[in-house]
Structure 1
Amino acid sequence: MRTRHLTVDNCDNCGNGGGRMIGQLRESSPLRTGPYETLARLGAGGMGEVFLAAPGPHEPGRPYDPDTLVAVKAIRKDLAGDAAFRARFRREISVATSVASPFVARLVAGDADAGQPWLATEYVAGPNLADAVRRHGPLPVASVAALGAGTARALAAVHAAGALHRDLKPANVLLGADGPKLIDFGVARALGATTMTSTGLLVGTPGFMSPEHVAGGRHVVAASDVFCLASVLAYAASGDDPFGDGPVAAVLYRVSRAEARLDGVPEELRELLAACLSRDPGERPGPEEVAAGLEALWG
């Protein structure tokens, strides 16, 4: 294992934007990505690895300024060789740059033309919602309302920029010191992606999909993100997946039928979440309406 001496003021026990502990760099980990020095490994996903990084060069022994830290996603080398993927990645970076919201992890920089394409977003020192609920249980109604209002405002900003999130789930909502931060929206989606890969593997998290996801990626619309947001908030409020567990096929069937269980959700939230979980996308409220309804509860 390769390691760097990491000293960050006021960041002795930072989260990593993904809720996992900061990990050591591997032998295969890059020492630099673009203009950034990689400091630690934060995790990996379907499109590549994510690293904690800071602008370089850095003076040895000097603490890193937490305000300059970023989370850098380095794209897999096999995808880097796909010209169509690079073109889509380039467009997505452009769209993400235009998203302005205090509830979205800000895109700092990106390079779709590098030998290994990458993008950097602001580093959020806090756990994700999935880990927070697993460790501490359901959130109080006021906390769920505040969390949901901020995330709904984030979705509104993403949609206004001409993008969709497509993968809203508890692990993609970070609990920062200044409120929720939405991550991983519309970036690095393979061209022509559907719910299933060519090898039959599922793309996404079954219990936090929408009926449109199950029907196929081309059916996903802005209202699909609202459906997924309601599932996330039901989880935050009850501690349970709204579409239950069991075989993936059974969960997907319940999602396709919009058969969510909300009996564990506090009554104050139930009516609004049920509206968001309508099977018909046209009957769901928009994110601004959701935010307003939740802010009324929070206030």
Structure 2
Amino acid sequence: MSRLEPGDVLARRYLLLDPLARGGMSVIWRAFDQSLHRMIAVKVLTASLHAGDCERVSARSEARAAARFIHPDSIEIYDYGETVTTNGGVAAYVVMPLLDGPPLAERIEQGPLPWSEAAAIALRLARVLMAGHARGLVHRDVTAENVLLTADGPKLLDFGIAAWAGDPDDDRGTPPYVAPERLFGAPTHPAVDVYALGVLLYAMLTGHTPYPETTWEEIEAARRIYPPPRIPGVPHSVASLCQRCLAYRPEARPTTAEIVSALTSALGTATLGRQVRRGLTVAGSAAIALSALLWLQRTGFQDLEGMVMPSPTAIMPSPTAVLPSPPANHIESRPALVESTPVTVDTVEQAVDDFRTVLEARTPCGATDADVVLDLKQVLHAAVSPHGPSASTTAGVRRKLSDRMAEGRLAPACLSELQARLDEIDAALERD
């Protein structure tokens, strides 16, 4: 049949407006539901346009199963159908909400993600897959293109073309993410999703997929039997987990439940480590300040006429400051200690780092769950990204903070500190 065009109507209801994305298996359209008068997304399954009755029956069964699968990080299925188009062809389609957010693939194209951000995204996806696997559903096409980075966090597309575990395999899937056993026609199994998640985690950590092959023929010719080299610069537990997910034999791969446990532990350990380091820094700064006070007392500085004894806050150094050694002629140089220079944030990057530091701190934001932390980081990244709107603003982040506060997922003290950091970011944006 001829390809679909803007203006075509599916099932006398869904008006196709313009294509949003194209993949090897489908085309996603921005569309309008003429019955309910709302904007939607329609994924037309190109692989089934010329399919026979058996294939369409299978696709229909899979879509119905996926429609009964509801998870907050998976895109809901509104409708599934097959229709004769205006050009006389048969189109199978899935109707979904129209979400605002770029594919994860676009984020990866900009370069590797920080390991903690990559692990947090993988954790969210592993939870979705774990829930699907518990119901006997296998996604089969976990890719960077099928993950949307929305304001509410990463969302997994395409459970609308999932299969039941044990079903015969087919050619659905994206070659760089295809597990080796699929080349030999092995039945559908949750391990194929684990392999794809391993590829995705590797891509987030390095900026590219672990193998260069991009077609079924190239993958079959490559005959990969060993996992890729360990990824440097990330915690051992995360690098090891990625390798295990990419194991050649499916039984050697972890389950999604084991992935969830490993990533939760890695992220928790990292958070604890940051808190310990931050505590040691603060303790070190206090010790330096106390030493300074004792030195001043020994030199008799407090007895000098016309001099004002500085307050502890005036001589308290910043965590990165180093107190100089007393000069030989300390009497003449003492007035310099009386004046304190206020600490200011000079760049947007520094202000953003301060926001993230507060967000990850045990006090006052320690009770904030990982999903909210990731959500706020992504919203802030979008607000100040050089690829974002020309007029960068923290208004969206402030609205998100208010929403999370109203939901009871943000402590008042944490909210206050984060708002103060946003004030610093706004000031830095104005200077830029």
Where does the alignment leave 5 or more consecutive residues of structure 1 unmatched? 1-25, 60-67, 196-202
Instruction: Find the partner of 2:71 among 90, 101, 109.
Output: 101
Residue matched to 2:159: 185
Q: Answer with 158-167 or 44-53: which moved more.
A: 44-53
Separation in 2, partners of 1:73, 1:100: 18
1:243, distance to aligned residue in structure 2 (A) = 2.2
Assess if the C-alpha contact under 8 Å between 1:75 and 1:117 holds in 2.
Answer: yes
Determine if the alignment matches structure 1 residue 28 to structure 2 residue 2: no
Separation in 2, partners of 1:175, 1:111: 27
Residue matched to 2:146: 172
Separation in 2, partners of 1:247, 1:39: 30
Separation in 2, partners of 1:70, 1:246: 31
Instruction: Find the partner of 2:192 among 224, 236, 257.
Output: 224
Residue matched to 2:131: 157
Assess if the C-alpha contact under 8 Å between 2:105 and 2:145 holds in 1.
Answer: yes
Residue matched to 2:373: none
Residue matched to 2:204: 236
Separation in 1, partners of 2:22, 2:201: 25
Residue matched to 1:43: 21
Residue matched to 2:30: 52
Instruction: Find the partner of 1:91 among 54, 57, 61.
Output: 61
1:83, distance to aligned residue in structure 2 (A) = 1.3
Larger radius of gyration: 2
Determine if the alignment matches structure 1 residue 208 to structure 2 residue 185: no
- Percent of aligned pairs sharing the same letter: 29
1:92, distance to aligned residue in structure 2 (A) = 1.1
Determine if the alignment matches structure 1 residue 130 to structure 2 residue 124: no
Separation in 2, partners of 1:235, 1:260: 12
1:81, distance to aligned residue in structure 2 (A) = 6.3
Separation in 1, partners of 2:120, 2:184: 31
What is the TM-score of this pair, normalised by structure 1?
0.73
Flag the structure with higher helix content.
Answer: 2
Determine if the alignment matches structure 1 residue 289 to structure 2 residue 251: no
* Higher RCO (CA 8 Å, separation ≥ 6 residues): 1
Where does the alignment leave 5 or more consecutive residues of structure 2 unmatched? 85-89, 269-432
| 1:139-188 Cα distance to aligned partner (Å, 9 max, x none) | 11111111001110111122233221112222122212111111123618
Q: Answer with 232-241 or 247-256: which moved more.
A: 247-256
Separation in 2, partners of 1:106, 1:247: 30
Q: Answer with 275-284 or 73-82: which moved more.
A: 73-82
Assess if the C-alpha contact under 8 Å between 2:112 and 2:204 holds in 1.
Answer: yes
Separation in 1, partners of 2:179, 2:113: 23
Assess if the C-alpha contact under 8 Å between 2:175 and 2:215 holds in 1.
Answer: no
Assess if the C-alpha contact under 8 Å between 1:95 and 1:161 holds in 2.
Answer: no
Q: What letter is aligned with 1:44?
A: R
What is the TM-score of this pair, normalised by structure 2?
0.52
Separation in 2, partners of 1:213, 1:181: 25
Separation in 2, partners of 1:166, 1:233: 16
Question: Over the residues paired in the alignment, what is the CA RMSD in angstroms?
Answer: 3.1
Separation in 1, partners of 2:111, 2:41: 27
